[in-house]
Amino acid sequence: MTDSKIYDELNRQLIQNKIGITAAELHGFLTGILAGGNHDESWRVLVQDMLNDGQKIAEPLNKQIEKLYHSTKQQLIDEDFEFQLLLSEQDLFRQIDDLVGWVNHFLLGIGLVQPKLNRLKGDVGEAIYDLRQIVKLGYDEDEDQQELGFAFEEIKEYVRITAMLCFDEFNESDITPTLH
């Protein structure tokens, strides 16, 4: 299934279950939990709390969330840098809104797993600061679409790399070194 179909189906299920977030925001939240170093099944409780006030999530949405969690984890572990943000492929403005929502929920997820996130120094601390600035991004619909699209792609790539950097930082003990 393509990312576009996954996004659309997940959004449909979220709307059908009256859950007020987008597929991009859910993916950002799950990625934040993973990047923060969550190693147990507590991610399920965090997702239930955020999506459904602690109540069990209806099937088949729950299965889709589990599948997204595991595929995201695999992408983050993969040494080929296959990890991608799950964003709308519709118009540029929708993609920008999705990116901002993704980053906002990523920060929420990682903050739940890493409560001392504000005290981080170095590259990861700087990257978290940058993400907080990205959440404040806005745009004018009269802006040059080409320039805006170029800026969007650069920011999206920075966010993608930052998520992988955070995952590497907080999951070092899980990653076994490659022997040559």
Interatomic CA distance for residues 68 and 97, integer angstroms: 21
Q: What is the mean pLDDT of residues 66-79?
A: 95
Average pLDDT in the chain: 91
Residue range 12-33: mean pLDDT, rounded: 96
pLDDT band at 179; cut points 50, 70, 90:
very low
Name 69's Cβ contacts closer than 8 Å, sequence gap at least 6: 30, 34, 43, 47
List the structure tokens of 79. Answer: 């040494």
Between 59 and 3, the more confident residue is 59
Count helices and strands in the chain by DSSP H and E runs: 7, 0
Between 169 and 142, the higher pLDDT residue:
169
Total domains in the chain come to: 1
- Residue 175 confidence (pLDDT): 47
User: Which pLDDT score is estimated for 170?
Assistant: 94
Q: What is the CATH number of the domain that holds 124?
A: 1.20.120.740
Q: What percentage of the chain exceeds 70 in pLDDT?
A: 95
Confidence band for 54, pLDDT divided at 50, 70 and 90: confident
Residue range 149-170: mean pLDDT, rounded: 96
Tens digit of each residue's pLDDT (9 = 90 or more) over 35-50: 999 989 999 999 999 9
- Checking if the pLDDT of 174 tops 60, the result is no
Compute how many other C-beta atoms are within 10 angstroms of the C-beta atom of residue 158. 14
Average pLDDT, integer, range 113-123? 88
- Classify residue 180: in a domain, yes or no: no
From the list 32, 4, 106, 18, the residue with the least C-alpha distance to 61 is 18
- The answer on pLDDT for 18 being more than 80 is yes
pLDDT at residue 1, as a whole number:
66
Q: Is residue 165 part of a domain?
A: yes
**Which domain range does residue 17 map to?**
3-174
For residue 19, tell me if it sits in a domain: yes
> What integer pLDDT is reported at residue 177 of this predicted model?
46
